[in-house]
Structure 1
Amino acid sequence: MRIAIVNDMPLARQVLQQLILASGRYRIAWVAEDGAQAVTLAEQDKPDIILMDLIMPELDGVEATRRIMQQAACAIVIVTASVNTNAARVFEAMGAGALDAINTPVLGLSGEQEGREQLLYKLDTVARLVEATRRVQPLDRPQPPPPAVPHRGEYLVAIGASTGGPAAIRTLLSAFPAGFPAAFVIIQHVDEQFAPSFARWLDEEVALPVRLAQQGDRIRVGEVLVAGGGEAHLVMDERQRLGYAREPENYPYRPSVNVFFESMAQFWTHHAVGILLTGMGRDGGAGLLALKQAGCHTIAQDRETSAIYGMPKTAADLQAASEILPLSQISVAIEEAINRNKG
């Protein structure tokens, strides 16, 4: 698999090249010294994965990511000195289409590359996602778990997203005031160490309170819960409490939208809306179908407003969405669904 490096710092470029070549698993496609050069090179020779610096002269990593995703879309991972320090710009880049972010490896006093294993693990994870996306598999209609019987009461809006998701989720949630009469659960493909920063950033951007979902949490109207990243999937149990589970372990997506949607279809007994937003890959389509078959209203983002039309396309192909809408209309559809079930 071919990796491109975009970084304005010579030492960072050197460390990244050494790390990639020494792994024996990847090849260097090309190296760019700024975002503008990266856009040109990506058009001429599209790599499998780009390691994109965030802060650069000429054209920064956010705008370079946006242009590459428009002109020569491929998997992009933001590699920056400090993900947490630059959280707002990192999420802006993820909204433009970056898949994930990680701190830049550095040379320690001993000459060892600090952060090497973390970056290689991230690369391996993204490479599996790229390969899974390339494999053409027939779409089979999954057999959903036995659904709960919806009835009046608490309203839950469950949202799944991947590539381009942070910006889309911010746009969607910004339409709702504090005290909006629904609970929200968000499954965004994100690294475990990155999930708390995502929740904090979103909390600062929207009127509704946002926090990371914890083991044993109950759904509460007017609150947004974000799934933690890493090796565990967010799930709902028979008591309608949230928790984390390692199974299924063979999923390339963690946390998985399918896993949460399917557990919700089985155990949630109130009204709900399931939403699948922009994202690379196929996660979420089967889960959205399970929600639809359980009596929930389901929505998929349309092709035109998706940064990557992968996950929503899977939902459309499975006929899992009650509606396929542009991002700007999804908040209105949520309000209409809630109003239909009042009384």
Structure 2
Amino acid sequence: MAESGGVGIIADTSLQRHAIRMLLLEAGYPVIATLATEGCTTGALEDARVSLWVVDLEDENNREFLLESLPDLSRAPVLYGLGKAPARNSTDYSRWQRRLLTKLKALIPVTPKTKADPPKGQGKVLPWPLKPVSRQRTRHRPADEVWVLGASLGGPEAVKVFLDSLPEDLPVAFIYAQHIDRAFSQVLAATIARHSSFDVVTADEGQQLHQGEVLLAPVEQVIDIDDNRRVRLLSRGWSGPYSPSIDEVMALTRLAWPVSGAIIFSGMGEDGLVEAGNYVQEGLPVWTQSLDNAVSEVMPGAIQTAGFSSFSGTPEQLAQQLVNRIARQAAARREECPA
């Protein structure tokens, strides 16, 4: 267990706060704070003793407030969307308990002394080294190069800093696959778009992905990309234990855009590992967030251990690597076909 920190709980019902608190105490976790939403003051959220926040909110307004506030006020990662605690004598309780404790055990042993602070705030915008192209021109061009951004726990903070760091005229688009509860998906879109020059869009039937856009993969419904590179909404859910499936998103992107790549950020599990191998076989780049910078190193670590990651860095370093790569490609094309 972490010796220099513990867990903070935020829930908007007293029964849920009590259920989570009792489970943590019984498992031996130190509980630093148990807060209702009205108790989420700046001072409480900035408490340095909290190494992890467990958040479960039923009210949509409360969810939106905390998702926007926590990344700016707290350096601790956040677990949310656990679902209402079942009665302790029910068979569902053991599954709820096991799911929560499994996630906690992967995180709480890492203390602030040995783990770098997760990224927060607005990144410094990198310069585009070639002649700038106006935003109006780039925003109406179909994307020829599309990168997958894959993430789970700790991902929204890292992806936000990555996107904040990119110049607005970068000729690229992204598909962002984030493991998250469906109730938080709209708030996630608003949060990562807050300081970025990229437009965050949700999936609609028949839409085309343009340069300067980040397509947020839906949680509850599978998407596909047809031969005309248009989004199709399918009538089934994502395969496997994660929604959306990073592996599936990487596969459909690889098939639709031969010029593509993937960046795997902080997260738990090994989603994306299978497709990372396919990317490498086809000569497509796979990059990862550095392990000492990630809130949860499991997901990027699995890809690094398999030897599939050709570059690793902080979100800012990943942004710089992408800018440099696309600039080199653009410069090479101009040399081949001078105006």
TM range (shorter): 0.5 to 0.7
Where in structure 1 are there 5+ consecutive unaligned residues? Answer: 22-26, 32-41, 70-74, 106-112, 114-118, 135-152
State the one-letter code of the partner of 1:260: V
Shift of residue 226 of structure 1? Answer: 1.2
Q: Distance in 1 between matches of 2:153 and 2:48?
A: 12
Distance 2:251 2:75 in 1: 26
Deviates more, 1:156-165 or 1:212-221: 212-221
Name 1:97's counterpart in structure 2.
77
The answer to which of 76-85 and 257-266 deviates more is 76-85
Task: Indicate whether 1:173 and 2:163 are aligned.
Answer: yes
1:30 aligns with 2:20: no
Determine the structure 1 residue equivalent to 2:39. Answer: 56
How much does 1:57 deviate? 6.3
Contact 2:201 2:215 (C-alpha < 8 Å) held by counterparts: yes
The 1:258/1:305 distance shift into structure 2, 3 A limit, reads same
- Identify the residue that residue 54 of structure 2 maps to in structure 1: 76
Residues 1-343 of structure 1 mapped to structure 2, 5 A cutoff: 6=9, 12-14=13-15, 16-17=17-18, 28-30=23-25, 45-46=28-29, 56=39, 62-63=45-46, 67-69=50-52, 76-79=54-57, 81=59, 82-90=62-70, 92=72, 96-101=76-81, 123=96, 126-127=99-100, 130=103, 154-230=144-220, 232-245=221-234, 246-249=236-239, 251-269=240-258, 271-342=259-330, 343=333
Tell me, in whole angstroms, the C-alpha distance in 2 between the residues paired with 1:132 and 1:217: 41
Aligned-partner residue type, residue 258 of structure 1: D
Give CA deviations for 1:67-104 in whole Å, capped at 9, x if unaligned: 324xxxxx834437521344412555898421324798
Deviation at 1:259, TM superposition (A): 1.2
RMSD of equivalent CA atoms: 4.0
Indicate the larger mover: 177-186 or 236-245: 236-245
1 CA distance for matches of 2:77 and 2:16? 25
CA–CA separation in structure 2 for the residues paired with 1:125 and 1:61: 28
Q: TM-score, normalised by structure 2?
A: 0.68
Check the 8 A contact 2:146/2:253 in 1, yes or no. no
Q: Distance in 2 between matches of 1:286 and 1:132?
A: 25
How big is the shift at 1:16? 4.6
Q: Deviations over 1:137-178 (max 9, x none)?
A: xxxxxxxxxxxxxxxx81212111111111111100011232
- TM-score (normalised: structure 1): 0.67
Structure 1 residue 274 displacement after superposition: 0.9
Distance 1:160 1:57, change over 3 A: closer
CA–CA distance in structure 1, aligned partners of residues 29 and 105 of structure 2: 18
Sequence identity percentage: 20
Change (3 A) 1:182 1:57: closer
